[in-house]
Every structure is written in structure tokens, then in C-alpha cells.
Structure 1
Amino acid sequence: MREIVLDTETTGFEPGEGDRIVEIGAVELYNHMPTGKVYHQYINPERAMPQGAFEVHGLGDEFLRDKPVFKKVGQDFLDFVGDATMVIHNAAFDMKFLNAELGWAGFRLLPNSQALDTLAIARKRFPGSPATLDALCRRFGIDNSAREKHGALLDSEILAEVYLELIGGRQPDLVLAPTGHNDGQDQSAPAWRATARPTPLPSRITEEERAAHEAFVAKLGGAAVWNS
């Protein structure tokens, strides 16, 4: 199962008011394990960056001036996502911006059903508790000290860790054998096999239970399987 954990940085809150995407970061998971494949792109928003509370830290006009516009990178982004589930924190926000940009550039839109919202998962699992990405990092003991300056790729990497904790850890399906997918692991390694215990476990049968079993077997005659 292929999933894309995704985050965006934008100039504001509403694409309908002229706000644009300035950064997309995404990491690929396969069977809930990171493959090492990422998508990361800075984007020229074709507008001046707002100041104050709406400014994206570290992504000013000077930095973004020579970056490609969305129309130049939109197809590469769609190719990376493909038909994989997109894991997004507060998915409605990012999907609103992604589909606005895709629509303006003439690309196909992404169905909302393709997105999995980790914010909704967290609120359902921990009702009444803070469900921001920072709060979930604190809950799960995930190091997010590098988030002093927000970045889409960094946030998507942190979100991947949070997502795996939300669904029960890194191995919810207990996949022990190679999958055949090129996920950066050594596919030549042999499949896992159970081995005998070096020291047998002690018997937990009492003497009374042993005597009762022997009496039962005696009634079955010499052909009983326990006598072979």
C-alpha cells in the first residue's frame, strides 16, 4: 500500500483571496514504512509575500523570485502522488490550495476522497485534547525541535512519524517477509523464519492434571495416539 505524507506552505489562508502555495513537501510510505523517496519544491507565488503574521518564515520575496511557478511543476507533483492516499494534517486546508493551483494551471484536480486527515484521526482518538502537530509530537515523544522555522518537507517527515503512531506504530500489519517493492531495503534477504527456543519453557501442567490425563488415555486402549 503506497501513501504520500504531504504538507504545504502558503502565503495565507484563502486561495480565493489571492493566496498561493510557496512550498510543497511530501514523503513516500509503502506498507507504512518510509521508502526514502521524497518530493520537495519551492514555488514562486507570482505575488508579493505578505508581512507580519501571514509571512512564511524564511520564504521571502528574494528567495522565491527565481523559483518555478506552479504551472511548471504541477505535472511532476501529480506524477509523484499518482493514485496514492495523501496523508495530510488538516487535509481540507491543503486540498483547497492544491486544487486551486491545479485548476488555475489547467491540471486535473485531486479528489478529496484521496486524502486522509490525521487531524480528524487525532481528534477521534484523543477527544478534547490538543491535536496540533506540535501537541502530537509531545504526546508521542517525537523530536520536533527543528520546527522553529516551518518547512513543508520537514513537517511532512514529522507528520509521517506522528501518523505511524496514530495508527499503532511502524508495523501495524506485522509484515515480516519482503514485499517485492523497491523501498530501499535489501530484497535479497531471506524471509523471516521462527527458530526453536534455546531453552524449552517449563511445563505448566500440575501433577493432578498429568495423572488425570494418564487415566483418560488408559481408558482409550493401546491404539490411542498418545501411546504411539
Structure 2
Amino acid sequence: MNTSKVNRQVVLDTETTGMNKDGAIYLGHRIIEIGCVEIINRRLTGRHYHVYLQPDREVDPEAVTVHGITDEFLQDKPHFSDIADDFINFIKGADLVIHNAPFDVGFMDQEFRFLNKKTQPTEQIASVTDTLVMAKKMFPGKRNNLDILCDRYGINTKHRTLHGALLDAEILADVYLLMSGGQSKLNLSNDLDNMNSHTRRPRESSQPLCIIHATEDENKAHIQRLQLIKDSLWLS
């Protein structure tokens, strides 16, 4: 019986009608797009959630220049109340991976409060991992927006001319997997101490190593991921 724990994460991004000058949310602005991609045990599953929403208010012109979503485009889209149950079911119990989480979570909680039923806040539906907080710890004193992180990790974003929730969630998923999968720092002094204090002997009963080769599909998926990295040495 397989008793391994399933680690389900949902990488999430939203687009909105606007925000304050300092980036804080205020009543009146609404979510107009939600994009999510699913990761299970550090593998993208291909499963996603994506929806555009009618906010019942105009989109600020400044916001349109960022994401390109217009009032005309949103006229026939559903309201948040129409999709709330499906959205909650998709993120429930997952670890939400979000860049600058207070912004998106704040808007989500506001939408939940607007519903005509008792809905829990985001933190009671799912846990949250903020990749901006991660990046600030990894690269202190440096700018850490999504575009800069893509450059830093060699992720090609030439196909992105405007921000979009689903596209940004897909990009963030790649960034997060690279950020969270790096090698930890080597503690050479501790290693030397251990070598001096312990005699290391090979195990007499060691068995020959079993080499498991990647399948053809796994090799193809690996090449596709490497092609996202500019000037990858692995492809040379």
C-alpha cells in the first residue's frame, strides 16, 4: 500500500479593476480574472482553473494598460458569486503559491465577504506560500518582481506582452519550482569535522546500484522544460 503523502499546491494569480497608489486594496475594486495551475509532489499536472469575471464596475484605464482586459470584454462574463463554489473546491486544502500574496488574498477575501452566504476567509480554505517573501530572503536588498525573477532564473517570457492571470500563474509555477528546488549551501567545515571524527567504511553487504532510465515521454518533457531556459548548457 502506498502511504506517501500527496503534496498538492495551486499556483494562483489574479487581475483586478485597479488598486490604490500604494498598492493597498480598497472597496470598489474587484477581481476580473483568476488563473491557477496545479502542482502535485513538485510536478505540474496540466490541470488548471481559469475564469474572467464581470465586476459590475469600470476597469481603471491604468489597469487596462497592464492586463489589457476591457469593460467590453467583461460584459458577458460570470460574476464571482456564479463561480465561487467551483473556485473554492479547486483551491480547498491546497497550498496556494502566490507572488505578493497579501494583494491577491486580500481581494479574494473581499470577494468572499461580498457573497450572500457565510464563506471562510482564504487562510481557512487553504494555506499560502508567498514567493515574494521567499525571494526577499534569498536575494536580500534586490528587486524581486516576477519579471526580474524570470531573468534571474533564465525563464523565457518573450511570449508575454501583457499580464494575464493564467499566464502569470504558469510562469510563477516554473519560478517557484526553481526557487524551491535549489541545492542547499554546503557546510564544508562540518563535513571536515565529521570526516575527522568518524572512520567511514564501505558496507560489506552493499548491493549493485540499480539504474532506472527515464522513459521517452520523460525525456521529451525534460527537453521541453530546458528549452524555457535561455542558453541552457544542457542543450549544448
TM-score where L is the length of structure 1: 0.72
The residue that corresponds to 2:27 in the other structure is 17
What is aligned with 2:139? 126
Aligned partner of 1:161 in structure 2 is 174
Alignment match, 2:55: 45
Aligned Cα root-mean-square deviation (Å):
2.1
**C-alpha distance in structure 2 between counterparts of 1:195 and 1:92, whole Å:** 45
Residue 69 of structure 1: aligned partner: 79
* Shift in Å, 1:126: 0.7
TM-fit CA distance, 1:103: 1.2
Partners of 2:128 and 2:113 in 1: how far apart? 17
Q: Partners of 2:129 and 2:160 in 1: how far apart? A: 23
Aligned pairs for 1:109-124 (under 5 A) are: 109-111=121-123, 114-124=127-137
Given that residues 11 and 22 in structure 1 are in contact (C-alpha distance below 8 angstroms), is that contact kept between their aligned partners in structure 2?
Answer: yes
Q: Separation in 1 of the partners of 2:33 and 2:162?
A: 13
> How far does the alpha carbon of each residue in 1:197-220 deviate from its partner, in whole angstroms, 9 at most, with x for none?
xxxxxxxxxxxxxxxxxxxxxxxx
Q: Percent identity?
A: 47
Map of 1:1-228 to 2, 5 A cutoff?
A: 1-13=7-19, 14-51=24-61, 53-55=62-64, 56-105=66-115, 106=117, 107-111=119-123, 114-168=127-181, 194-195=210-211
Shift of 1:149: 1.1
1:29-48: CA deviations, max 9, x gaps? 00111001000000001111
CA distance in 2, matches of 1:156, 1:36: 12
Q: Residue 15 of structure 1 contacts residue 100 of structure 1 at CA under 8 Å; is this kept in 2?
A: no
1:15 positional shift: 4.5
Structure 1 unmatched ranges of 5 or more: 173-192, 197-228
Question: Once structures 1 and 2 are overlaid, which stretch shifts more, 103-112 or 73-82?
Answer: 103-112
Q: Structure 2: which 5+ runs fail to align?
A: 1-6, 185-208, 213-236
**Alpha carbons of 1:164 and 1:15: their partners in 2 closer, same or farther (altered >3 Å)?**
same
Give the Cα separation in 2 of the matches to 1:108 and 1:69: 19
SS at match of 1:148: coil
Q: When the two structures are superposed, what TM-score results if normalisation uses the length of structure 2?
A: 0.69
| Ranges of 4+ aligned residues in structure 1 off by more than 6 Å | none
User: How many angstroms apart in 2 are the aligned matches of 1:49 and 1:93?
Assistant: 17
